[in-house]
Structure 1
Amino acid sequence: MKIDLTETNSSKINAAMVQARRDIGTPAVGMVLTLVIVTDEENAYDALKSANDASHEHPSRIVVVIKRASRSPRSRRDARLDAEVRVGADAGSGETVVLRLHGELVDHAQSVVLPLLLPDAPVVVWWPDGAPTDLAGDPLGALGQRRITDTYSCEDPVGTLGSRAGAYAPGDTDLSWTRITPWRSMLAAALDQQALTVVSATVEGEGDNPSCELLAMWLADRLQVPVRRTLSAGPGLTAVRLATKDGDIVLNRADGGLATLCMPGQPDRNVALKRRDTAELLAEELRRLDPDNTYEASLKYGVSQLAAASSQPEAEAPAKAEAAAPAKAEPSKPAAKPAKKATAK
């Protein structure tokens, strides 16, 4: 069911949602969170489709905020709110409200969204594109326990990582980080299988791909070894190589679907490592509403520090790793036998 409301307000929108639920025979509200999507007309359809798909796992009230730029000074002074309410089959497993803000109302979006939030339920704010630098300081971002962005959609993805690190607040996350969850899980499992000492690492992928940079920073932060970033034709992240004293651990995904894991002393094996769509990434982020400390540590490691570490000559990497390792105690020499005391004859 769809209900169009022109020149309306939050009270009328709430009343329309209640009436729509009664009309379709589901007066109870069985949603677990409110997902606020801040986007524009160009990206609204794709973002809403991904959110509806994710709502099958996380039934939620989806509030889409679309800020309409006014062309003339007179129209910019006229505040107007248009809304579209969707309930039932048209709204996934929850309910959807599409808000179009005009004029001066664009600068006060939080006052429109606040009355539409589910009571006593967490709030997640998602910017599919055009996210502000300070997510927690944004009026809409301040409403959410979690704030999701996608650095991949920025004009300068790698440069934006530095801005995100400087303005990070607990609850911030990025879909570029979510994309490397299977890679991190696979590499961690590989290191758990064998007690190998990693002396250096290489991350290969497309240029200006923030997921590659985040994975490289995660490895550098967790392993404390130099990590070199190399380029490939893609798609996305294509390979990770961990150099150890006993041989290399290589996770190679050339086609974006199936990867090959090579480990010292073991046969090569194929592992599923497909590129996931936005709905799957969003559903993963909605599973946890607590701050992601691992993402924070990796983000704050910094692209500049990563570049400085990777610029060291390869010959210095093992030496650095060995210096960082605790020195092995030398075998103790047997103690000299005590001299026999002279006895008087």
Structure 2
Amino acid sequence: MIEHLPNTTVSKVARRLVAMRLEGGVSALGRVLTLIIATSEPIDESVVEAANHASSEHPMRVIVLVANPASAEPRLDAEIRVGADAGASDVVVLRAYGEVCTGIESLVTGLLLPDAPVVVWWPGNAPERPGAHPLGRIAQRRITDSAASPAEAFAARASDYTPGDTDLAWTRLTRWREYLAAILDQPPFDPVTSVEVVGGADSPSTKLLATWLELMLQVPVDCRLEDRSTVSGGVRSVALRRASGDAVLERVSTDRAVLSQPGQPRHEISLPRRTLRECLAEELRILDEDSMYGGVVKQLETNNRTEPQS
């Protein structure tokens, strides 16, 4: 069920949301968190679909806030989705125009679930300091996606990391990290002496993976960022250098990788690129600080400060 409320107020939206749930025969919320999706662009339905999919694992209220402060006419339009149109969620779409965008956090506070964690997700361009943003200040977790932002924007966010921040460029690395850890758990158990990571020049995931390996292994890591004509985005390969020979994990297609180790046959591994749905669902399982991501970001910022300037 979808209902449109043009030129409305937050209090009217809240009352109508309760009424629609009662009309549908659902009075108990049973929600575990509030997810705020913040954007200044027209709504990308794939983003809302990812949230609806994640709600099957994390029942929640989803507030999509589209802010257009440049508009001359101050107005708030709303759309409420419940039932089959919202998965296991309540979805409230708020389109704010003009001066209504002033004090933007006030547009959502009246719709937050009581005594439930708040997560803010910027699927497109995000603020340089998510933790200092008015929406970021009311959230326990703040999700950005550096793949949708200029490279310098991610660098700025890394330098102003706040506990609770995370980025989907990190979430996309989960399978890579699992496979690399599994390689080191198998013989031969020679120590790794150095690492080479290769990925696309526009891939923040490549830098994050290289920094994670440096932090975990405490060895030199050569991070090679190559042009898209050579590497089609994301991480391409990781080589773990050891005295007994190199272990190389290399992506050969969008869903497969090959593991090569000395004295062993080549192994094909299923390594599909992670979907937006998968990444969001994983991030919503963590409602406090991701200390590993925090450590990697801090190490990355230290590396950036100590790199020689060209």
In structure 2, C-alpha distance between the alignment counterparts of 1:287 and 1:85, rounded to whole Å: 25
Within 5 Å, which residues of 2 pair with 1:62-73? 62-71=62-71
In structure 1, C-alpha distance between the alignment counterparts of 2:249 and 2:6, rounded to whole Å: 54
Asked if structure 2 preserves the Cα contact closer than 8 Å seen for 1:123 and 1:143, the reply is yes
Deviation of residue 306 (structure 1)?
6.9
Within 5 Å, which residues of 2 pair with 1:170-185? 170-185=163-178
Within 5 Å, which residues of 2 pair with 1:1-345? 1-71=1-71, 75=72, 78-155=73-150, 157=151, 159-194=152-187, 195-230=189-224, 231=226, 232-302=230-300, 305=303
User: Which sections of structure 1, spanning at least 5 residues, go unmatched?
Assistant: 311-345
In structure 1, C-alpha distance between the alignment counterparts of 2:234 and 2:30, rounded to whole Å: 38
Deviation of residue 79 (structure 1)?
3.0
Q: Percent identity?
A: 45
In structure 2, C-alpha distance between the alignment counterparts of 1:308 and 1:41, rounded to whole Å: 37
Deviations 1:97-151 (A, max 9, x none): 0001111121211011001000111110000111101111100111110000000
Deviations 1:145-191 (A, max 9, x none): 00000001112x2x333212221111000000000010011101111
Q: Specify the structure having the higher radius of gyration (Cα).
A: 1
Tell me the TM-score normalized by structure 1.
0.83
Asked if structure 2 preserves the Cα contact closer than 8 Å seen for 1:162 and 1:302, the reply is no
In structure 2, C-alpha distance between the alignment counterparts of 1:43 and 1:129, rounded to whole Å: 11
Deviations 1:199-225 (A, max 9, x none): 111111111100011001111121121
Asked if structure 2 preserves the Cα contact closer than 8 Å seen for 1:87 and 1:94, the reply is yes
Q: Report the RMSD for the aligned CA atoms in angstroms.
A: 1.9
Deviation of residue 303 (structure 1)?
6.4
Deviation of residue 309 (structure 1)?
7.9
In structure 1, C-alpha distance between the alignment counterparts of 2:33 and 2:293, rounded to whole Å: 23
Deviations 1:270-321 (A, max 9, x none): 22110011111000100111211111111122267279789xxxxxxxxxxx
In structure 2, C-alpha distance between the alignment counterparts of 1:65 and 1:171, rounded to whole Å: 20
In structure 2, C-alpha distance between the alignment counterparts of 1:188 and 1:233, rounded to whole Å: 24
Asked if structure 2 preserves the Cα contact closer than 8 Å seen for 1:152 and 1:176, the reply is yes
Asked if structure 1 preserves the Cα contact closer than 8 Å seen for 2:202 and 2:233, the reply is no
Number of equivalent positions: 303
In structure 2, C-alpha distance between the alignment counterparts of 1:197 and 1:250, rounded to whole Å: 15
In structure 1, C-alpha distance between the alignment counterparts of 2:199 and 2:143, rounded to whole Å: 23
What secondary structure sits across from 2:123 in the alignment? coil
Tell me the TM-score normalized by structure 2.
0.92
Bigger shift: residues 299-308 or 10-19? 299-308
- Residues 36 and 140 (structure 1 numbering): CA distance in 2 closer, same or farther, change over 3 Å? same
Asked if structure 2 preserves the Cα contact closer than 8 Å seen for 1:217 and 1:303, the reply is no
In structure 1, C-alpha distance between the alignment counterparts of 2:43 and 2:22, rounded to whole Å: 31
In structure 2, C-alpha distance between the alignment counterparts of 1:183 and 1:149, rounded to whole Å: 20
Deviations 1:219-261 (A, max 9, x none): 1121121211222422421111010111111111121211112
Deviation of residue 58 (structure 1)?
1.3
Matched residue type, 2:221: V
What secondary structure sits across from 2:185 in the alignment? helix
Asked if structure 1 preserves the Cα contact closer than 8 Å seen for 2:69 and 2:100, the reply is no
Asked if structure 2 preserves the Cα contact closer than 8 Å seen for 1:236 and 1:256, the reply is no
Asked if structure 2 preserves the Cα contact closer than 8 Å seen for 1:130 and 1:154, the reply is yes
